[in-house]
Structure 1
């Protein structure tokens, strides 16, 4: 047996994986994926073994060990891998090209300008000659590796000439230039296999069985308190639309409607964390591969589940809990969308509380539904409240005849009346209410629309009730602190027999399984408010039905800018339509209230940015777009900060990936754009905020993040 361990797929800094080992691992995963998708496993095997064989090039191996001169031509190992197409029968060569040529780069208009068509247009014959550098020296080693891997028909004596390589290159170039509009399933398969093989390393043998359908029979349970549990799943209907109050059993019903692998989407980090833990508790003994697709998931997995830390965002999970942002690439054709589509195709997609998104995100989700429906997904929508106009849009995309539509009767809905509504002009007006609730040992939840507001109110609470158990929770905490707070909220505050006060933002709004006694909340859009109300008097028993608890709503700000992040008119209309004076909020009337606030939904037209319009793809196969302006407009928490202390002490620099995640504070880039902060060049490239701007009790105070608050060691920045 020949030894090719000197030929690497990755640099020493990145693990020094040998090329032979990497190709074997990718091939193993590719065959599993092809078998699952009903694709030709032999094609998958051969494509996977060839996809990186160009890394045997002496040029590539040299560049693994030292940076190239800026004067040198670009080298793409994908192009060098194409030189070996002759090893494959002619009828399979187009599939090989799909798997090889674009598994890192778009073939055209790549953001780096190094796709195969980009390079040919820029350098013409020179680029081919450069990739053929010393071909006779390294081609035999490439063949040797393939022979060791038992590539069909290849022995150590097999020869690929420079002329064979040249012919293969031009054949591949012609293939790329003739691509039709659509997406390449073969590219998606290879990218997925490559990603997971690169991630698992020595953990490969510990990876759960990929693409296994979960056993969700647990959710066939029935209970008189959960009316949806008494409704049978209609096997003749492909999709689902469930409209029912919090606590009616929506989650159980949606999951029991699933027939294959499941992607469960929810809008907020706290809600996906809670749902992940809930499903893991319910199904963990029966379903091996349940994942949470969010960086915070690193914190929820113990050492015994170390493999899951590595593969959480890779393909093949039985159940994956995530936010729709992780799927948005399929609407805009941005990098990696083919591997996401490969993973999604034919699966069950649960969209929980779709209406809670911004207008832009709503439009993106509707476009995603179009794409998901096109690739054979079964789509299940669950909501407590939704504008009728948005509901109509969803049902038209899915086709009403294909949807099991479920809503509860007025008689049943009446049993879910839980809240008495009071209105107030300002938080200070409610201080007597707060005092009385504390004296009565009530669990109190105060919800603000903005982090800054929550921080101000929390300071007031600290002054007023120094001895009462209290918590502030919002999105701008270190992830380690945030995870601790979420667990304390659920496991301590939620079950406290004594008075406690939690001040929060929207992070508690959806699917967080807590049941408090009294809420004070700023006005939000009517649909979001109803979600918030679901955290009060949530726990239903035979004794609690017909018992009501109070919600106090603070009037919207008078100045429009102070209404952010919401539309001022929607806030004022929402406040206006709600009852007052302790009047009961009736479940049978919620739809009418919502439709008064949203008589019509002005749906954004994103077709100019979308790659799938009117049932057809607008992007050619093997292409992807560099970015999406619409996704950038969402201004989600797209960057992270760390504290000055975590930087200066060396903690962040010396930490491993999981430890760094614990230190990071997610923020919106727009919040820091003009702050002149130091930014590190390691890890997630965090911005460094002054220590004075952060505390483990209050989180990050953006007002104190300016560079002028750095201590003297940082004044040069």
Structure 2
């Protein structure tokens, strides 16, 4: 089955072009090579009956319609497709394969037909087949093919057409789209086709991870041994910081295909570096990072790699393998993977890949209700398709566990199986947090009073719920603290790419308890420090949002140390502005009222003093139940989103629309006007546009080298941008560079404060270009 065996097919394919520089035989052979690769790796799902034969035939016949003389002539003449003359090759293919499928069942034949028909979605394929006006054009195209290649009798020719245009056949194909078999066959057909077109392997074997872990020579702890023992099961693991959750998760994934899902780019980049250092050599064939700035990460990676001889070739191969999900281990954001729950045209490619993968989901408690809905829907579907899921988290609410296993009460195309998993808690007995509860607003006077009482303090973390309040506190402490003793820093999400990266690097260095500082380092931040930042501060002051996020914040203090003092190292301020609370009467709020009230009640019940890992878990289990949250806005939003995606018809959305909807808050790439007005930016934009124009005029072979130069220039420009909300921009105010739209924000940007509201610019008495805007 590793070659095109039928003599007639081989002859026809050898004398037909798939592309201007490649025969149909050569292209199909590449698909079949990738089919063999999937089979040899053990990635063909045994849940699909006769999957090897069905996928093989789908690959063999998927482009048969390209033998159409009309297509061949158009290809040679480099003409555009004319819908009045030519029928799409994917549509013609499902007619032409009929004479070759006589020994298959009707259901199997229709599964093959449906996968081939929809492996392209240039038009509404079923609408095209259902439209009587198209029958004559279809027949004319098929007659051209028959006269040149097949030489069927008129009776056999009519039968070939009738088999496909039969109402029952079309109806059955439409129904097959709703099955798991279709998702896998169509997705794997796309996977083989994409790889063949890119002249690459659709998968790279993971034969290194277990060996890399064993080379650490660690004595595995209980959490890691549990994951080794239960590799063939879905897992939900609660584990304290410092017990080795990362190693445990990778030991569970073992030498399988792995996707490691984290909510923030910062955490993803850190995990990517960690795994890259673990596997050492040939990292570009082993581990990938997948988020909105993958190309930037890889460019910087290759710039620092002195062993790279051909940067252009290595970049494109690495980037291509990452985007086509061919890498053995991929660390990614949820939106890069789970956008497939919207069932857009082509979503089956990702879902079929997940059907033989291990999905590790970290920090699930950090998800907003809509992202949680997408993620849980994806978990349920992946589980049904045959993939395995492991959730690793420091905190997990009972209501989330209930949502994972809840049976749907609404109509759906897919009836989920039970999600069965093994659950275990691994909690540290070390005392790390002494909590002080303050039933008032977080304020600088209280913070300064506590700071002055500490003798041996080196680092302090302050977490606020909003960027504006973080900026205001930064301004206050800058003015009120002795600068010879304290160094105050600010980190939030509205810094430019390069400034945020620099600040993230600095907080990682400052948050190292072994580092000797000449000053007491104070960092003011927002919830972006909650997830997976490996920092270990001496003391923290934080506003309360809700319990799950709060206990994640706790993990940034005494992360790897045992508390020996009776002095509190975590101060929690329970009172927050009503504007932050979401309710039916406040659509701008972002903290669920029910979650916040339950959290405050739980903390007051616990009271001041040492709080152990077990006590944190007990509070969550006691208060964050399904019953307590039944009427919350959080659960209402979760159900609304989950029900919406569950009832989506496959193929009704386009990927570009999904990308906009998937994000919790629609964000826009923007450049502050005071940066844009720099002469250096004007020069950079000119360079980019010149490079882009030059690239368009080159032949394909030469274009890649020039494109890499363009990407590097664009990356420099993107360093000066940040993600903003719709309220931060005027949609009519933008500039275009290399055919890409970048919005301008009139709000003032300062290198210390980030993007500022006008009232704060006046309040802080900042002048244009203050703070130092260095290009």
**TM class by shorter-chain length?**
0.7 to 0.9
**Contact 2:395 2:551 survives alignment (8 Å):** yes
Distance 1:158 1:334 in 2: 36
Q: 1:633 to 1:308 in 2, by over 3 A?
A: closer
Task: Report matched runs for 1:135-534 at 5 Å.
Answer: 136=144, 171-174=163-166, 175-179=169-173, 180=175, 181-183=178-180, 184=182, 185-198=184-197, 200=198, 204=200, 210-212=204-206, 215-216=209-210, 219=213, 228-229=223-224, 233-235=228-230, 238-259=233-254, 260-285=256-281, 288-301=285-298, 302-303=301-302, 304=308, 306=315, 307-394=317-404, 403-408=421-426, 413-423=428-438, 424-433=440-449, 436=452, 442-463=458-479, 471-491=489-509, 494=512, 496-498=515-517, 499-534=520-555
Distance 1:364 1:574 in 2: 25
CA-to-aligned-CA distance 1:351-382 (integer Å, 9 cap, x gap): 22322222233333332222122122222222
Check if 1:78 corresponds to 2:134: no
CA-to-aligned-CA distance 1:490-549 (integer Å, 9 cap, x gap): 346546421323333222211221212222322221100111111111124xx7677876
Q: 1:418 to 1:438 in 2, by over 3 A?
A: closer
Q: 1:5 to 1:73 in 2, by over 3 A?
A: closer
Q: 1:232 to 1:626 in 2, by over 3 A?
A: closer
Distance 1:128 1:429 in 2: 82
Aligned to 1:552: 571
Q: 1:429 to 1:696 in 2, by over 3 A?
A: closer
**Contact 1:329 1:335 survives alignment (8 Å):** no
Distance 1:548 1:285 in 2: 46
TM-score (norm 2): 0.71
After the TM superposition, which of the residue ranges 267-276 and 231-240 deviates more from structure 2? 231-240
**Contact 1:215 1:286 survives alignment (8 Å):** no
Q: 1:693 to 1:6 in 2, by over 3 A?
A: farther
Aligned to 1:585: 611
**Contact 1:471 1:501 survives alignment (8 Å):** yes
Check if 1:125 corresponds to 2:133: yes
Structure 1 residue corresponding to 2:595, chosen from 560, 570, 574: 570
Per the TM alignment, residue 485 of structure 1 is displaced from its structure 2 partner at its CA by: 3.8
Q: Aligned to 2:209, what secondary structure does the other structure show?
A: coil
Per the TM alignment, residue 18 of structure 1 is displaced from its structure 2 partner at its CA by: 8.1
Per the TM alignment, residue 349 of structure 1 is displaced from its structure 2 partner at its CA by: 2.0
**Contact 2:494 2:755 survives alignment (8 Å):** yes
**Contact 1:334 1:624 survives alignment (8 Å):** yes
Structure 2: where are the runs of 5+ without partners?
Answer: 1-10, 45-49, 303-307, 309-313, 408-415, 583-588, 693-708, 760-767, 770-775
Aligned to 1:660: 714
Aligned to 1:538: 559
Q: 1:594 to 1:44 in 2, by over 3 A?
A: closer
Aligned to 2:697: none
After the TM superposition, which of the residue ranges 490-499 and 345-354 deviates more from structure 2? 490-499
Q: Aligned to 1:689, what secondary structure does the other structure show?
A: strand
**Contact 2:541 2:572 survives alignment (8 Å):** yes
Q: Aligned to 2:733, what secondary structure does the other structure show?
A: coil
TM-score (norm 1): 0.76
Distance 1:460 1:403 in 2: 49
Q: 1:284 to 1:222 in 2, by over 3 A?
A: closer
**Contact 2:464 2:527 survives alignment (8 Å):** yes
Distance 2:447 2:165 in 1: 72
Task: Report matched runs for 1:588-603 at 5 Å.
Answer: 588-595=614-621, 597-599=623-625, 600-602=628-630, 603=635
Q: Aligned to 1:667, what secondary structure does the other structure show?
A: strand
**What RMSD over aligned residues (CA atoms) do the two structures have, in Å?**
4.7
Q: Aligned to 1:539, what secondary structure does the other structure show?
A: coil
Distance 1:298 1:125 in 2: 46
What count of residue pairs does the alignment treat as equivalent? 658
CA-to-aligned-CA distance 1:623-655 (integer Å, 9 cap, x gap): 555579998275345543346635782355446
Task: Report matched runs for 1:635-714 at 5 Å.
Answer: 635-636=664-665, 639-642=668-671, 645=676, 649-650=685-686, 653=689, 654=692, 656-657=710-711, 659-660=713-714, 663-664=717-718, 665=721, 667=723, 670-671=726-727, 675-678=731-734, 680=736, 685-690=740-745, 693-694=748-749, 697-701=752-756
Distance 1:667 1:165 in 2: 58
Q: Aligned to 1:635, what secondary structure does the other structure show?
A: coil
Q: 1:308 to 1:520 in 2, by over 3 A?
A: farther
Aligned to 1:150: none
Check if 1:101 corresponds to 2:117: yes
Distance 1:125 1:460 in 2: 73
**Contact 1:27 1:44 survives alignment (8 Å):** no
CA-to-aligned-CA distance 1:161-218 (integer Å, 9 cap, x gap): 99988865654454443133314122101222333444x56xx3xx695253653355
Check if 1:51 corresponds to 2:43: no
Distance 1:3 1:225 in 2: 55
**Contact 2:38 2:203 survives alignment (8 Å):** no
Per the TM alignment, residue 436 of structure 1 is displaced from its structure 2 partner at its CA by: 3.7
